[in-house]
Amino acid sequence: MELTGLAAVVTGGASGLGNETARMLAGAGARVAIFDRDEATGLAAAQEIGGAFFKVDVTEEASAVAAFAAAEAAHGPARVLVNCAGVAPVGRIVGKDGSPHSLDAYRRTIEVNLIGTFNMISKFAARLIAAGVEGEEAGVIVNTASVAAYDGQIGQAAYASSKGGVVGLTLPAARDLAQHRIRVVTVAPGIFLTPMLMGLPQAAQDSLGTQVPHPSRLGKPSEYAQLVAAIIANPMLNGEVIRLDGAIRMAPR
């Protein structure tokens, strides 16, 4: 799929992997809409790339419907969706003090990472199908899971569950949407230099990087964006989850 002139939506596009992906898409000539809850950062990010910002709660159906309608009014029907919005809480099923994991925290993680991804997929696909785009490909959806879906660590029960759900969603979503010529692919990143990790001391960042077999460092958001670009460009990539992790397999802690 050629990106020049196409409309694209990136959730979580105000920062981290989403922001770098929005920059890549804009640089390739796409008209980019950033969906995020962080209005100040999102507006600034959109201005930098010549895109548009829409404040969106990915867990809310009405918020999604309104945002896709507004983005379509600005840029035309979105042909690309990249789901990067997510949360990464840490908490053991039973804490060291004997207290159980907060059910509200667990539920919120599932709502944002899994239900939010599904919400964006369904609203994006419905509008694209209604637009009646012609050609071999109508659109591409790229989701973000995590290696935690396979190698969830101690304290990652909620996060790993939510990302495992995204992995499990990938193939049936691709099969559901195949008749409409919409592809669905998921990326499962390893340890990447996102805002959360940037807050750690350099020594801690370096220590995490040495756990990666090769290259022995933290992943760069630009490397995630490069993979998104390759997925969009290759029409035979569909229904697959791609680990982007430098061959790491996470230890229990």
What gap in Å lies between CA 146 and CA 157, rounded to an integer? 13
- Residues noted as catalytic: 159
The answer to whether residues 35 and 9 touch, using CB atoms and an 8 Å cutoff, is yes
CATH code for the domain defined by 7-193+220-244:
3.40.50.720
Q: Rounded to whole angstroms, how far apart are CA atoms 106 and 104? A: 5
What confidence score (pLDDT) does residue 198 get?
Answer: 76
The DSSP result for 91-148, as a single string, is B-SB-TTSPBPPHHHHHHHHIIIIIHHHHHHHHHHHHHHHHT--SS--EEEEEE--TH
10-residue mean pLDDT profile of the chain (253 residues): values are 95 97 98 97 97 98 98 98 95 95 97 98 98 94 97 94 98 98 98 80 83 95 98 98 96 88
- Domain spans of the chain, in order of start: 7-193+220-244
The reported pLDDT for the residue numbered 200 is: 67
Instruction: Give counts: helices (H), strands (E), the chain.
Output: 10, 7
pLDDT for res 203: 82
- pTM value is 0.95
